[in-house]
Copies of this chain bind each other. A is one copy, B any other.
Amino acid sequence: MNNHLFDKEIYISRRKRLAENVGGGLIVLLGNEDSPMNYADNCFPFRQNSTFLYYFGLDVPMLAAIIDVDNSNEIIFGNDVSMDDIIWTGPLPSIAALAANVGVTATQPYHKIEAAVQTAKSKQQPVHILPPYRAENKIKLSQWLDISLNDVSQSASLKLIKAVIAQRECKEACEVEQLNNAVSISADMHLAAMQLAKPGMMEYEVAAKVEAIALANNGRLSYPIILTVNGQTLHNHYHGNKLKEGDMVLMDAGAENAMHYAGDLTRTFPAGKTFSTRQKEMYNVVLASLNHATQLLKPGIEFREIHRQASIKLLEGLKQLGLVKGNAEEAVHAGVHTLFFQCGVGHAMGLDVHDMEDLGEQYVGYTDALKKSREFGWKSLRLAKQLKPGFVLTVEPGLYFIPELIDRWKAENKLNDFINYDVVEQYRNFTGIRIEDNYLITDEGSQKLGKHLIKEADEIEAIRQNA
């Protein structure tokens, strides 16, 4: 087990505020179980539920907790190890000892939680649960609450969801320190990739070295590495290509540090020693968009506006290269950018790389008044609402040339007042470029997280000379 914890007062005060914000009822928070790979006892590395980590800190499988708001009572449920277990797992602290480390005095065996939930139900006490994303927890909640499996997610408590988001979205100082650490490890991973990748290597050989850096820092990846010569595929986890002269390598990778905070950086670099002229021109269009977007970050601005501004900057650059024409702002309004930039410009980050995505994007990234667009491109924007101090987020503009999408738009003559399809056609196999950094919103503006990681085209070429 991982013993890393914040000071116990932090967990106590987080739970106190949660109870106040929810106001009444029984809050049920489930930890995760181990996830089987190919049979029950051969499991993936254990990943605790992030909300459970946030309020209870304990990084051990098969725990659950209740906060009885009406009766000011907190209980952690879990089972102590037996002598038989000690042979296989070594001596472990008791659940009571673990709980004491995070300021909880009452513990009970795991199976007792079912009775605790049912007692609350029988007394008409509201039971607040979060939407489960793992089937094991869905089954448990279905049984404890006596509702069908299909109804569990809809039974989640909106009050609890909103209270958790209100706390987790504004990072505390101790969390910012962890996020800086995670992003710095992520920067080391990217620098290593730029230093060691060479034409002739397989993508998975580079990815192996990158992942090892996260592991050597007592952490792991915050998400499966994207390391590809086909950067136009947004979530490309295939690593079976051989790098060759002339390719660009898009690497989107981040560490999850020992305290489970995420980093999420992207760099795009030439597989050989230099970008081609065309690659460098396009790279600088993306970089200008990133620089423009990050300069705008401050409390009060909507992230939807950051996305719009980044998109305008991308189209201004593409206009200079002849791929599009007309007024860039009007073009973005018409949706022209979505031919090249099909996703959002960023998302919240914290204990999860897409922070709190399990609680619902509509609550994390939007508000009751600000609803998500259903339009292509815009519908993939995970964060749109007004920024507040303490928000941590990614900024990651990109340009992606997807042949199938170009073909479809061209066949439809879509937006051809704005798009020079004959020029776009010359880029159909250009692949993709993304550049991504992570920012904290401060009282005055913003602050880039983690150690410096080069991103100017010249700096990248300089490091590639020695690769």
Residues of A within 8 A of B (CB): 1-3, 35-45, 47, 49-50, 83, 86-91, 133-136, 138-139, 149, 202, 204-205, 207-209, 211-216, 218, 223-224, 230, 232-236, 238-240, 342, 351-354, 356-358, 400, 402, 404-405, 408
Distance of A405 Cα from B211 Cα, bound (Å)? 38
24 pairs across A/B with beta carbons < 8 Å? Answer: A1-B238, A3-B240, A35-B36, A35-B44, A36-B134, A37-B47, A38-B50, A39-B133, A39-B358, A87-B234, A87-B342, A88-B233, A88-B234, A135-B135, A135-B139, A138-B139, A139-B149, A204-B215, A208-B212, A208-B213, A208-B216, A211-B211, A218-B239, A218-B240
Query: Given A209-B212, A211-B215, A238 and B90 touching (CB < 8 A)?
Result: yes
Q: A38-B50, A86-B405, A90-B230 are in contact. List 15 more A-B contacts (CB 8 A).
A: A1-B238, A35-B36, A35-B37, A37-B44, A39-B354, A44-B44, A83-B404, A88-B233, A88-B235, A90-B236, A135-B136, A135-B138, A209-B212, A211-B212, A211-B215
Contact of A38 among B49, B87, B224, B404 (CB under 8 A): B49
Q: B205 to A216, Cβ gap below 8 A?
A: yes
Count this chain's copies in the assembly.
Answer: 2
Q: B405 to A83, Cβ gap below 8 A?
A: yes
Q: B354 to A42, Cβ gap below 8 A?
A: yes
Q: Which B residues are CB-close (under 8 A) to A353?
A: 42
Q: What's the minimum C-beta distance from A242 to chain B, rounded to whole angstroms?
A: 12
Q: Which B residues are CB-close (under 8 A) to A202?
A: 218
Q: A91 to B404, Cβ gap below 8 A?
A: yes
Query: Given A38-B352, A43-B224, A211-B215, A240 and B133 touching (CB < 8 A)?
Result: no
Q: Which B residues are CB-close (under 8 A) to A209?
A: 212, 216
Q: Which B residues are CB-close (under 8 A) to A47?
A: 37-38
Please give me the residue from chain B that is nearest to A357 by CB atom: B39
Q: What's the minimum C-beta distance from A114 to chain B, rounded to whole angstroms?
A: 14
Query: Given A41-B354, A134-B135, A352-B38, A87 and B405 touching (CB < 8 A)?
Result: yes
Please give me the residue from chain B that is nearest to A53 by CB atom: B38
Distance of A453 Cα from B7 Cα, bound (Å)? 46
Contact of A235 among B89, B149, B342, B402 (CB under 8 A): B89
Q: Which B residues are CB-close (under 8 A) to A204?
A: 215-216, 218
Q: Which B residues are CB-close (under 8 A) to A239?
A: 218
Q: Which B residues are CB-close (under 8 A) to A35?
A: 35-37, 44
Q: B83 to A358, Cβ gap below 8 A?
A: no
Q: Which B residues are CB-close (under 8 A) to A233?
A: 87-90
Distance of A44 Cα from B45 Cα, bound (Å)? 9
Q: Which B residues are CB-close (under 8 A) to A3?
A: 240
Q: Which of A39, A134, A138, A208 has the most CB of B within 10 A?
A: A39
Q: Which of A37, A86, A89, A212 has the most CB of B within 10 A?
A: A37
Contact of A86 among B205, B218, B402 (CB under 8 A): B402
Distance of A134 Cα from B38 Cα, bound (Å)? 9
Q: What's the minimum C-beta distance from A325 to chain B, rounded to whole angstroms?
A: 24
Distance of A211 Cα from B134 Cα, bound (Å)? 26
Q: A215 to B208, Cβ gap below 8 A?
A: yes
